[in-house]
Structure 1
Amino acid sequence: MTNAIRYMLTTAALSVAFMTLPASAETNHDDQKHGSEMHQSANAQTAQGQGTVKALDTEKQQITLTHGPIESLGWPGMTMPFKLADSASMKELSVGDEVRFEVKKSGNDITITEISRQ
């Protein structure tokens, strides 16, 4: 008799939990989405890297680099374009130059804030 009562109580508790799950999951999802967006914009990361200039686009204020791994951002070595912040200048750079740079990552926004030839 005790096992039957436990079984019924457990079944009732699980039924209530499953009925409320979709509503709480949806609410948590929305909170996590907004929290994630705020977290990303509030917590910009900066890191240093080294690489080689592959392309310069002065119209778009963009530079393409082949760089080594940037461990603090969890990036493997790769070739990718970067936006340049107003503080970073590509005036003295040429394709093929070896460079050191500082990159700022805030959410999906990735910008080189400093760059210089090695």
Structure 2
Amino acid sequence: MARRYLFAILAFAATIFTIGQVLALAMTLPGEPEIEGDVGVTHGHAVPSDEPLAAGRVVAVDHAAGRITLEFRPIPQLFLDGGTRVFHVREPASLQGLGPGDKVRFEVERDARTYTITRIRNSN
């Protein structure tokens, strides 16, 4: 009798786990930038590309402070989870012409505690 209950509990747990994995792969967050051809996803894990540029979408630009807020995909090379973050920009002049909603490709450099964008370009 105990074996039957144990089997049922394990089958239920496996079903819930499988459904969770399928939903995690199928769903994207609202406004999440689409993956372009040079970055692939295999079984839910980001695969690093040969190109050092990451993909994202501009949320806000602060020209005076030389900062930009980006919604971006994970950058596994820098152990940086995807999401929304404010980045400092090494050359604030590179922010000219960028505005909320623009898709961008960018290169990030990691210092001890901060992430700085060293190169950014509009990919609309």
The alignment's TM-score, normalised by the length of structure 2, stands at 0.54
Q: Which runs of 5+ in 2 are unaligned?
A: 1-51
Corresponding residue of 2:84: 79
Residues 1:102 and 2:107 aligned together: yes
Corresponding residue of 2:120: 115
Q: Which amino acid aligns with 1:63?
A: I
The C-alpha deviation readout for 1:65-108, integer Å capped at 9, x for no partner, is 00001011112211000000027611011110000000110111
Q: Which runs of 4+ in 1 moved over 3 A?
A: none
Larger RCO (alpha carbons 8 Å, 6+ apart) = 1
Distance 1:88 1:75 in 2: 25
Corresponding residue of 2:66: 61
Structure 1 position 110, deviation (Å): 1.4
Distance 1:88 1:103 in 2: 16
The C-alpha deviation readout for 1:14-52, integer Å capped at 9, x for no partner, is xxxxxxxxxxxxxxxxxxxxxxxxxxxxxxxxx531100
Q: Which runs of 5+ in 1 are unaligned?
A: 1-46
Structure 1 position 109, deviation (Å): 2.6
Q: Which amino acid aligns with 1:92?
A: G
Q: Which amino acid aligns with 1:59?
A: A
Aligned residues: 72
The alignment's TM-score, normalised by the length of structure 1, stands at 0.57
Greater fraction helix: 1
Question: Judging changes above 3 Å, is the alpha-carbon distance between structure 1 residues 60 and 117 closer, same or farther for their aligned structure 2 residues?
Answer: same
Query: What is the root-mean-square deviation in Å for CA atoms of aligned residues?
Result: 1.5
SS of match in other structure, 2:53: strand
Structure having the higher Rg? 1
Q: Percent identity?
A: 38
Alignment of 1:1-118 (within 5 A): 48-86=53-91, 89-118=94-123
